[in-house]
Chains A and B, each alone.
Chain A
Amino acid sequence: MRTLTRRTLGTAALALPLALAACGRSAVDSQEAATSRGPISIWVSTNEQELAWGKAVSEAWNAEHEHEPVTLQEIPAGSSSEEAITAAIVAGTTPDLIFNISPAALPDWMRAGGLVDLTTFEGGRRHIEERGGTRARNYAEDEGKGGYYQLPWKSNPVMLMYNRKIFADAGLDAETPDLDTFDKLLDASRQIVSSGAAGSAIWPSPTSDFYQPWSDFYPLYLAQTGGTRLIENGSPTFDSPDGLAVARMWRSMYDEELAPREQSTDDAMTTGATAMQLAGPYAIATYKDAIDYGFMPVPTAEGIPAGKTITFADSKNVSLCSTSRNRLTAWDFLAFATGEEWDGKLLELTGQMPLRQDLASVYPDYFAKNPDYTSFADQADRVADVPYVSGGIEIWQRFRDAYSGAVIFGTDSVEQGLSDVAHQIDALIKE
């Protein structure tokens, strides 16, 4: 009895401070915030070039808006940015604008009430759709008919990058390799490895992170299907002849040891350990002084003309958070930073493609000076993104886990692996 009362007392003592802890987080009055102006803060990715852009644009803004200054903060560019944003939304500590929104995670953040519909601002819809064209609709609610919780900002269209010197050493055509089918890609890969020109033909990161399919399976799958996303109309699409063809191609790469099953400890392209990788235009800045490279469109099973190839957009977007107390300023700044001038600056500083129509004709000078990027500007008109579904990260993680077993490590058959995970994902969506 005595111990019992003692325990109860101890528990009561523990419960006391909880009352303090439970006091509420003050929510923003959205009516008032929608018409309010004042200082705002923005998050930009830690990526060196994007940061330089962020600093330049906020300085330019601050010079003209004394009473509505913008403060810049950094969030990590890689895997951990989603966690940081999720936690901040739940705690109500998000900034006014985030310039690093992954469309895969966005539907969940929207449902958590963390973001603001941009079409509630005057001219919001017009700005987004004039800038992005019809494909902006892929980023809107209700199959493109509803509001926008993100402004489609920039893309990194994925192409097949190759090392010209290794191709030449392997006796391949280094100028126009023409690897537009899976068979040609596999043959070339065998030639690269057997000739000893490089230890491996291609080296996608084989790790289990949910976003890794975006740089191996998914770009090829989008090209193969002409832009069918992983999930369409609420059902997984990849358990199909097209999906199997892509997965079998990668399985051959791993089985024949043309692609390593281990993550590279170096940058495999720089060190010449591998001849190819799937990459976006951001790669140019990294490799321009290191290797002699070329780009080609991603291949498909039977081959399609380069001008028709669709690839993965790998876009990052901008959202306005519901914690914003000065939403008018935030919206004005967003429109300012995604206008023609600062989109051009983004292109110039980062080499990433603003999600804007007719890039090549809007910035002719840039592409004249930087011919390397022209193929990306062309490709940027034919991209598809991740499906707009809630629970996106969980779906991608499941897919990666299954792919990892069925394709990379070969512990399961490709058919079985894809079919099983398609059922799991289907069940997840229906839930």
Chain B
Amino acid sequence: MSVDRSTAGNAPDHAHRKRASRGAVYAVLAVIALVFIFPFYFMAIGAFQEDPTTSLSALAPRGGWTLENFTTINERLGLLRALVNSLVFTAGVLAGTLVFGLSAGYALARLRWRGRGALFVIMLGVQMVPFQLLMIPLYVQIAGNYGLGDTYAGMILPSLINTTAVFIFRQFFRSLPESIFEAARIDGASELRVLWSIAIPMVRPAIATVVLITFIGPWNEFLWPFLITKESSMQPLAVALANYINNVAGTVANPNGAILAGACTLAFPVVILFCLFQRYFTASDIGAGIKG
């Protein structure tokens, strides 16, 4: 169904209206975008304030700038150490998800083996189970049976392979045309070779998406790493910050400033990384073919 473009909107009035409506779309989106990022502005301003108040005038402060909030929270938490722990935790989960998730996703999408259908059904099912239900049995298993308390391995294990990521990989591999694989197989390439040199390069956009959705899990998680670590030097920043908000807040003079400073430390590295790499997180349809 092809249309001659020149027939559409030939009246000048029509074009004018179109431009006006586009302007309206920009305006509405801009307002929504401001609402979305406003809390970040609030966080950033408050983190550098001597006495972050919640009044309107505090939004554009003239003075009272300080770095003390960061030193206060750093003394209590060891921000750098906690950030490193968060990084190790997150990197472990990312590595596990990329290695095992890619191969499982490929096997689920392109290979025929017994149990494939069952695994796919189970995979969709496990997404519905709340983690809190599994926490104590898991803790007994990981800290008790495997002796992995106070280790990064124990911290990483429960989220080692992100199921949503496996699902996304499967959808991507399924959407590739079969002919590519046939050609490679005729040339005598092994399945692993097909995966490594043909399939994976073709699903690069999926890898970006998976990195995005996978890394937030461990970066955010505070309950599990809190249970598994008793050495405070092992605790990721989210755990340290949640404990700080819960317990210590009542015992320092300017808790809000310190909390906001901690929040900034947790939020901004990610926000900045994300802004730098945002163009990779784009268009790739994973909704298609969800019905299996």
Residues in A lying within 8 Å of B, measured CB to CB: 3, 6-7, 9-11, 13-14, 21, 23-25, 43, 46-48, 73-80, 83-84, 86-88, 90-93, 95, 265-267, 270, 285-286, 290
Contact = CB atoms under 8 A, between A and B. Distances in A.
Given A11-B118, A265-B256, A76 B145 contact: no
9 contacts: A11-B118, A14-B122, A25-B145, A73-B230, A80-B243, A90-B139, A91-B139, A91-B144, A286-B251
Given A6-B115, A90-B136, 6 more contacts: A6-B118, A11-B118, A21-B145, A75-B230, A78-B246, A79-B247
Contacts of B243: 46, 76, 78, 80
A91 B143 contact: yes
Contacts of A47: 247
B122 A84 contact: no
B138 to A, nearest CB: 10
B226 interface: yes
Nearest to B75: A48
B262 interface: no
B115 A93 contact: no
Interface of B is mostly: helix
Contact of B247 (A9, A78, A88): A78
Given A267-B253, A270-B253, A90 B140 contact: yes
Contact of B143 (A9, A83, A88, A266): A88
B256 A266 contact: yes
Contact of A74 (B143, B232, B255): B232
A80 B246 contact: yes
The 5 closest A-B pairs by CB, nearest first: A10-B118, A91-B144, A78-B247, A10-B115, A73-B230
Q: Which of A73, A77, A93, A270 has the most CB of B within 10 A?
A: A93
B227 A77 contact: no
A376 B252 CA distance: 22
B250 interface: yes
Nearest to A92: B144
Contacts of A92: 144
A93 B118 contact: no
Given A74-B230, A93-B149, A21 B141 contact: yes
B232 A46 contact: yes
Contacts of B232: 46, 74
Given A10-B115, A90-B136, A267 B250 contact: yes
A13 B250 contact: no
Given A6-B115, A76-B247, A265 B54 contact: yes
Given A6-B115, A90-B139, A270-B253, A84 B227 contact: yes
Contacts of A13: 115
B140 A83 contact: no
B124 to A, nearest CB: 13
B114 interface: yes
Contacts of A21: 141, 145
Given A6-B115, A74-B232, A93-B149, A290 B141 contact: no
A46 B76 CA distance: 10
